[in-house]
Structure 1
Amino acid sequence: MSEFCTLFLSLELSWQNLLQNFGVNSAIARQTFLDIANLYSSPNRFYHNLDHVSQVLQVIELLRSLALEPDTIAFAAWFHDVIYDAKSNDNEEKSAEYAASLLNYFKLSSKLINSVTNLILKTKTHRYPDNDIDSQILMDADLSILGADVSNYRRYSQAIRQEYSWVSDESYQVGRLKFLQNILQRPRIYLTDTMFATLEINARGNIQTEIQYLLSL
Structure 2
Amino acid sequence: MPHTRSAAHPRHDALLAEWNQLLRRCQEEAARDTGPEPGDAPDPQPYGEQLLERWAEPQRRYHTVDHLADVLARATELTAYAHDPDTVALAVWFHDAVYRPDRSENEERSAQLAERALAEARVGAERIADVARLVRLTVTHDPAPGDADGEVLCDADLAVLAGDPASYAAYAAAVRAEYGFVPDQDFRTGRAAILRQLLDLPHLFHTPYGREQWDRTARRNLTTELELLEA
- TM-score by length of structure 2 reads 0.89
CA contact (8 A) 1:16 1:26 kept: no
CA separation in 2, counterparts of 1:11 and 1:54?
A: 7
Distance 1:118 1:8 in 2: 27
Report the secondary structure of 2:213's partner residue: helix
Displacement of 1:26: 9.6
Deviation at 1:170, TM superposition (A): 1.0
Unaligned 5+ runs, structure 1: none
Q: Does 1:182 align with 2:197?
A: yes
CA distance in 2: counterparts of 1:10 and 1:99, whole angstroms: 21
Match of residue 59 from structure 1:
74
Q: Distance in 2 between matches of 1:47 and 1:37?
A: 14
How far does residue 67 in structure 1 lie from its aligned partner after superposition? 1.0
Q: For the Cα contact (< 8 Å) 2:27–2:122, is it kept in 1?
A: no
Once the two structures are superposed, residues 76-115 of structure 1 have per-residue CA deviations (whole angstroms, 9 ceiling, x without a partner) of 0000000000110100010001111110011112111110
Q: TM-score, normalised by structure 1?
A: 0.94
Query: Is 2:16 the partner of 1:12?
Result: yes
Q: Which residue of 1 aligns with 2:223?
A: 208
Partner of 2:33: none
Mapped partners of 1:174, 1:100: distance in 2: 35
5+ residue gaps, structure 2, are: 1-7, 29-39
Which of 94, 97, 121 is the equivalent residue of 1:79?
Answer: 94
Q: Is the 8 A contact 1:136 1:191 kept in 2?
A: yes
Q: Trace 1:58-207 onto structure 2 (pairs within 5 A).
A: 58-207=73-222
Structure 1 vs Structure 2 CA RMSD? 1.5
The question of whether the paired residues in 2 share the 8 Å contact of 1:57 and 1:141 is answered with yes
Partners of 2:61 and 2:207 in 1: how far apart? 28
Q: 2:25 aligns with which of 21, 25, 47?
A: 21
Shift of 1:177: 0.7
Q: 2: distance between equivalents of 1:202 and 1:130? A: 24
| Structure 1 stretches of 4+ moved >3 Å | 23-27
Contact 1:147 1:153 in 2 (8 A): yes
> CA separation in 2, counterparts of 1:147 and 1:10?
25
Larger Rg: 1 or 2? 2
Give the whole-Å Cα distance in 2 for the aligned partners of 1:26 and 1:146: 39
**Residue 37 of structure 2 corresponds to which residue in structure 1?**
none
Identical amino acids, percent of aligned pairs: 31
